[in-house]
Amino acid sequence: MGLEAKLTQDGFITTTIDAIVAWARKSSVWPMPMGISCCAIEMIAAADPKYDIARFGSEVMRFTPRQCDLMIVAGTVTYKMAQVVRRIYDQMPDPKWVIAMGACTSSGGMYRSYNVVQGIDQFLPVDVYTAGCPPRPENLLNALMTIQEKISKTRARDFQDIIPQKLELINK
């Protein structure tokens, strides 16, 4: 690996804070497994040894939003469930990202019906949409890599407004 070689050779590296923070963030994207229906099975499959989401530093799937950076919404979101999904999203610490996994979350999918939200982007800011019904684990890993790419382009000052904004919201 490049980093170890560099460190054993010189004992130090030169970089920017932005680059190293983004590198650290993208290498440990902890997902919140919001498994609502059948897509969740493929999400679980992505964590097994064959597909091994741990290769990307994302194996920590704990069912608590408090330690998560990425919400994988895997399954049909009904209007009743939308309140719950949003509440869990609100409990995740900033900065946070969202994957809309599968047809149902992206557009309502085959449930063109009164009870299913026709795309979770109506109430959540979605970063990556994943096609498929359900998407294969490779597809989810691809979405994760897209998120990583997105994170690697972020800079620290992109998030500096977030905390004052949240404080303002709380004070209101």
Partner 1 sequence: MDIKDLVLQTLKENFTDSIIEITDFRNDLSITVKQEKLFELAKFLKENENLLFEMCKDVTAIDWATRKNRFTVVYHLYSFKLNFNLRLKSNLETEPYQIQSVTPIWQSANWYERETYDMYGIEFINHPDLRRMYMPEGFEYHPLRKDFPVLGIPESLPLPQKPE
- Residue numbers at the binding site for partner 1 (CB under 8 A): 79-80, 82-83, 86, 112-115, 117, 121-125, 165
CB of 115 to partner 1, least distance (A): 7
Task: Give the helix/strand (H/E) hosting 134.
Answer: none
Residue 50 or residue 112: which is nearer to partner 1 going by CB? 112
Pick 67 or 122: Cβ nearer partner 1: 122
Please state the three-class secondary structure of 14-72 as a single string.
Answer: CCCHHHHHHHHHHCCCCEEEEECCCHHHHHHHHHCCCCCHHHHCCCCCCCCHHHCCEEE
- Tell me how far, at minimum, the Cβ of 10 lies from partner 1, in Å: 44
Q: How far is the CB of 129 from partner 1 (least distance, A)?
A: 16
- 12 or 114: whose CB is closer to partner 1? 114
Q: Looking at this protein, which amino acid is placed at residue 103? A: A
Cβ contact 93:87 at 8 Å: no
- Residue 83 beta carbon to partner 1: minimum distance, rounded to whole angstroms: 6
In the complex, minimum distance from the CB of residue 89 to partner 1, in angstroms, rounded to a whole number: 8
DSSP 81-131: HHHHHHHHHHHSPSS-EEEEEHHHHHH-TT--STTB-S-GGGTS--SEEE-
Distance CA(78)–CA(73), nearest Å, equals 12
CB nearer to partner 1: give 113 or 152: 113
Nearer Cβ to partner 1 (59/121):
121
